[in-house]
Structure 1
Amino acid sequence: MKYFLLTLGCQMNLSDSERVASVLDAAGCTKVDNEEDANIIGILACSVRQKAIDKVYNKISKWNKWKNNKNLITFISGCILPADKEKFLKLFDIVFAMPELPQFPKMLGEYGVTNPLSLIAEPNNTIDEIQLFWNVKPKYDSNFEAFIPIQNGCNKFCTYCAVPYTRGREVSRPSQEILDEVRSLAEKGYKSITLLGQNVNSYGLDKKGDELTFPELLEKVGQIGEEVNKEFWVYFTSPHPRDMTDDIFHIIAKYDCLGKQIHFPIQSGDEKVLIKMNRNHSLEKYRKTMQSFRSILPQATVFTDIIVGFTDETEEQFENTRKAMEEFKYNMAYIAMYSPRPGAASYRWEDNIPLEEKKRRFAVLSDELQKHTYEYNKSLVGKTIKVLIREKDRKPGYLSGHTAGKIVIRLESDDLSLIGQIVELKVTGAARFSIEGELVEKTVNC
């Protein structure tokens, strides 16, 4: 049997898809790159964004028509709201929650797919389910970049967010498993490793006294970096401002292997909107944390998330967000136009900012962002920096990668052996969202 996987949404879904692929491979199936060639087609869905759900409906409508001419099994998992799940049960052959992945081979067996896997022991509760899921060894999509889930779920209940309803409450993965996976990947030569969670800096708080805290986990990761004689960078996403502490910044500064970049969502620069979003932190708290970050890690970059057009957001409140962008000078911002999601608290409220106004605000923030990204990128021109080469660039004859601070950089080269290597480049040019460089030395550390 041949299978095709479509992954939508965040990096957590990408990580989950690697475990789905591992289970299907172990069941004797073969992955293909084109959905037309597959007998089993699955989606890792994302109920957090309406656009992603719309894509699911478009795909399954097409795939179900194919069943008139070929044998085809369809399945869906990922981040799915209960309301969406009810609809998907009528459209897909198999619908399962991600913690149920170890039972997936049995589900396929009911459709006549024979496989050599025996059923993994039945879980006793939700935490057992998640642990069994984490025990599935992922089939990494890359041989130099990897994602490591460190927790599942979210306890924050931001009013706009569906994640607590799609993934449940926070459960921390055992730290020894995480550290073993980091060490294994580093020793195999992986160059970029990202620790994943909905609120990574609340890691361990659900097992207080019995598990490491997030700063302690980072410290252990840093020590692995000193022990393994290979160069690699470790990142994490996403932290929450409420739980962010200065000791995290000091630990990042202490160890070379901890990437000098953080993703630090602000969502809004207005106090009243932050309260309405139930973010449970003030703008002043965010500001003080950013000041500490800049003081302790002056060379590091910072990315953020922002929502425009949240329910009742006034022009003055939006202007406060623009001022916050001007103040904090982000290196990247992922700006989203608000769309209500069933299950989230804000779904009950009127979505009363017109789409055209949301688009205008999106454009204003995009313009503000570009001012600061361009200034920062220009400051790198003439410097020699380390870069992870990731892939062929869209521009013929070029490769692309990112710096330790995750700034995108292009290199004029057709040497594909550089892909997956950390090299030194001299920065020769700058654009708004990227820089360009020339090779100084082929590899720093293989």
Structure 2
Amino acid sequence: MLDLATTKVHDEQRQGESFAPFKEDPNAYNKLFYIESYGCQMNFADSEVVAAILNKEGFGATRKVEEADLIFINTCSIREKAEQTVRKRLTDFKKLKTARPGTLIGVLGCMAERLKSKFLEEEKLVDIVVGPDAYRSLPRLVDEANEGQKSVNVLLSREETYADIAPVRLNSNGISAFVSIMRGCNNMCSFCVVPFTRGRERSRDAESIVQECRDLFENGYKEVTLLGQNVDSYHYIPKDGNESDAVSFAKLLEKVALIAPELRVRFSTSHPKDITDEVLHTMAAYENICKCIHLPVQSGSTRILQLMNRTYTREWYIKKVDRIREILPDCSITSDIIAGFCTEEEQDHQDTLSVMDYSRYDLSYMFFYSERPGTLAQRRYKDDVPLELKKQRLQEIIEKQNQLSLENYKKDIGRTFKVLIDGDSKRSAANWVGRNSQNKVVVFPKNGAHKKGDYVMVQINDCTQATLFGTII
């Protein structure tokens, strides 16, 4: 979400970034591709699948868009501003194509299906349009585009999970990696386009997930993040099995955690209605399953939650927070919050602020409501909260989160955490940066005895609202 306001954005959630495979030699290929990705972690993971498919066709990645034979932009439809940014970038790419005839431009991902005719015919910005379930068809589409055809495949699938494709790790630090465990979403939240752009929910073969995580660990990776639109509804039944053989998300978490104690396991995103006690107890049982849960609330008002079709009430959400705190006292909780949804009144807004106070989020992704074409909300409700009021309420939410984050981080001063070193701090090569189990960024001086990928114990002595500062002990 490109116009989100947040107290911090972790490296793995960067927006609008171009990628090339880690330790990839572009000189090994005669043809080059460039990918720029926007939006959620799933989009970044999808770009790694696309890279693997293109590598097999003889294309190498480049970070220099001006030398690419293929230019792709992996798109996000969550927010209107995201679409505006993508359109601007496509205009920039079209200028590059004018200077370098023969270059092909393609749109991948969530905007592909909804805006395919505009991109191809009305604005003539692209040559290839490919939806999230159609990446296997890219080689054929590239050939068609090279022959002068406008190539499109935006068909959604009930089976595609790309389970057999080993992703090419893009711009990787060699320490952390995303692993997609499922695709699509069955939750018809009224504000969301995902069920229409990514299709129905389907879970990937559990053993293929475990094997991918094992391969990553054997290749030096120390952390995996299991990705899905709603990971808690993961449910895989082997082809020759029955319900008694089913793998739940809790069982999958355990399988990955058992690969090695040194492999950290994270996951995103959870839906409050689906995260179970079994998942929480599994997290408590394994030290290497990180104690951090992203639990989007969206609104603190039961009335607004019903309009959003979130299927829980304010009181139910609060009880879920209580249960997490009971089973995992040291767990970090983060959230998503929408300001100014249809018909929202001042009391609804105050309900959201009070839920924030109760839940004490370490971080929230906060934005004002932006009506998306084709969603249930667009068809059912009037977007009737004035823009200025949306912005005012969003600012109050941001200020509340900034306050909570700083208070939470101050409580960590004096504590000692196990930190995985991600690499050099951006501000000084004299410092390491890493994250603790709660996914909080920790910066600390180097002492010469450690390297990237090591675990170290760090005592915290200072903080901001987004970063902990400490010393190795």
| Distance verdict in 2 for CA 1:329–1:270, change over 3 Å | same
* CA deviations over 1:154-185 (Å, ceiling 9, x no partner): 11100000000000110111111111112222
Residues 135-284 of structure 1 aligned to structure 2 (within 5 Å) = 135-141=164-170, 142=172, 143-204=174-235, 209=243, 211-224=246-259, 228=260, 231-284=262-315
Unaligned runs of 5+ in 1: 114-123, 441-446
* 387, 406, 409: which one aligns with 1:377: 409
What corresponds to 2:455 in structure 1? 422
The number of aligned residues is 424
Say whether the 8 Å CA contact 1:102–1:136 is kept in structure 2.
no
| CA distance, structure 2, for counterparts of residue 184 and residue 352 of structure 1 | 51
| Distance verdict in 2 for CA 1:258–1:112, change over 3 Å | same
SS in structure 2 opposite 1:293?
A: helix
Shift of 1:426: 1.7
Shift of 1:402: 1.5
What corresponds to 1:31 in structure 2? 61
TM-score between both structures, scaled by the size of structure 2: 0.85
* CA deviations over 1:208-227 (Å, ceiling 9, x no partner): 81631112222222333xxx
Shift of 1:125: 8.9
What corresponds to 2:13 in structure 1? none
* CA deviations over 1:276-331 (Å, ceiling 9, x no partner): 00000111221111111101111111111111111111011000000000011011
Shift of 1:24: 1.7
| CA distance, structure 1, for counterparts of residue 197 and residue 67 of structure 2 | 31
| CA distance, structure 1, for counterparts of residue 156 and residue 43 of structure 2 | 22
| CA distance, structure 1, for counterparts of residue 131 and residue 112 of structure 2 | 10
* 45, 48, 58: which one aligns with 1:15: 45
Shift of 1:434: 1.3
What corresponds to 1:404 in structure 2? 437
Deviates more, 1:314-323 or 1:344-353: 344-353
| Distance verdict in 2 for CA 1:51–1:422, change over 3 Å | farther
| CA distance, structure 2, for counterparts of residue 61 and residue 290 of structure 1 | 45
Deviates more, 1:214-223 or 1:317-326: 214-223
| CA distance, structure 2, for counterparts of residue 134 and residue 89 of structure 1 | 30
What corresponds to 1:106 in structure 2? 140
What corresponds to 1:438 in structure 2? 471
Residues 38-53 of structure 1 aligned to structure 2 (within 5 Å) = 38-53=68-83
| CA distance, structure 2, for counterparts of residue 125 and residue 25 of structure 1 | 24
| Distance verdict in 2 for CA 1:324–1:81, change over 3 Å | farther
SS in structure 2 opposite 1:241?
A: coil
Note if 1:320 corresponds to 2:351.
yes
Shift of 1:82: 3.4
Deviates more, 1:252-261 or 1:91-100: 91-100
| CA distance, structure 2, for counterparts of residue 112 and residue 310 of structure 1 | 45
SS in structure 2 opposite 1:240?
A: coil
Shift of 1:111: 4.1
| CA distance, structure 1, for counterparts of residue 229 and residue 289 of structure 2 | 19
| CA distance, structure 1, for counterparts of residue 236 and residue 392 of structure 2 | 40
| CA distance, structure 2, for counterparts of residue 393 and residue 354 of structure 1 | 42
Unaligned runs of 5+ in 2: 1-30, 148-154
What corresponds to 2:99 in structure 1? 69
What corresponds to 2:127 in structure 1? 93
Say whether the 8 Å CA contact 2:191–2:372 is kept in structure 1.
yes
Shift of 1:205: 7.1
Say whether the 8 Å CA contact 2:181–2:209 is kept in structure 1.
yes
SS in structure 2 opposite 1:363?
A: helix
SS in structure 2 opposite 1:294?
A: helix
Deviates more, 1:309-318 or 1:408-417: 408-417
* CA deviations over 1:325-377 (Å, ceiling 9, x no partner): 00110111111111011111112332222222222212211221122222221
| Distance verdict in 2 for CA 1:25–1:325, change over 3 Å | same
SS in structure 2 opposite 1:395?
A: coil
| CA distance, structure 2, for counterparts of residue 420 and residue 60 of structure 1 | 37
What corresponds to 2:369 in structure 1? 338
| Distance verdict in 2 for CA 1:125–1:156, change over 3 Å | closer
Shift of 1:378: 1.4
| CA distance, structure 2, for counterparts of residue 413 and residue 17 of structure 1 | 34
Say whether the 8 Å CA contact 2:166–2:212 is kept in structure 1.
no
| CA distance, structure 2, for counterparts of residue 179 and residue 268 of structure 1 | 35
Shift of 1:126: 2.4
Say whether the 8 Å CA contact 1:330–1:369 is kept in structure 2.
yes
What corresponds to 1:119 in structure 2? none
* 398, 419, 423: which one aligns with 1:366: 398
Shift of 1:186: 2.4
What corresponds to 1:120 in structure 2? none
| Distance verdict in 2 for CA 1:320–1:81, change over 3 Å | farther
| Distance verdict in 2 for CA 1:205–1:284, change over 3 Å | farther
Say whether the 8 Å CA contact 1:246–1:289 is kept in structure 2.
no
Say whether the 8 Å CA contact 2:339–2:368 is kept in structure 1.
yes
Deviates more, 1:51-60 or 1:102-111: 102-111
| Distance verdict in 2 for CA 1:406–1:45, change over 3 Å | same
Deviates more, 1:270-279 or 1:383-392: 383-392
* CA deviations over 1:222-274 (Å, ceiling 9, x no partner): 333xxx3x512111111111112112111100011211111111111000000
TM-score between both structures, scaled by the size of structure 1: 0.90
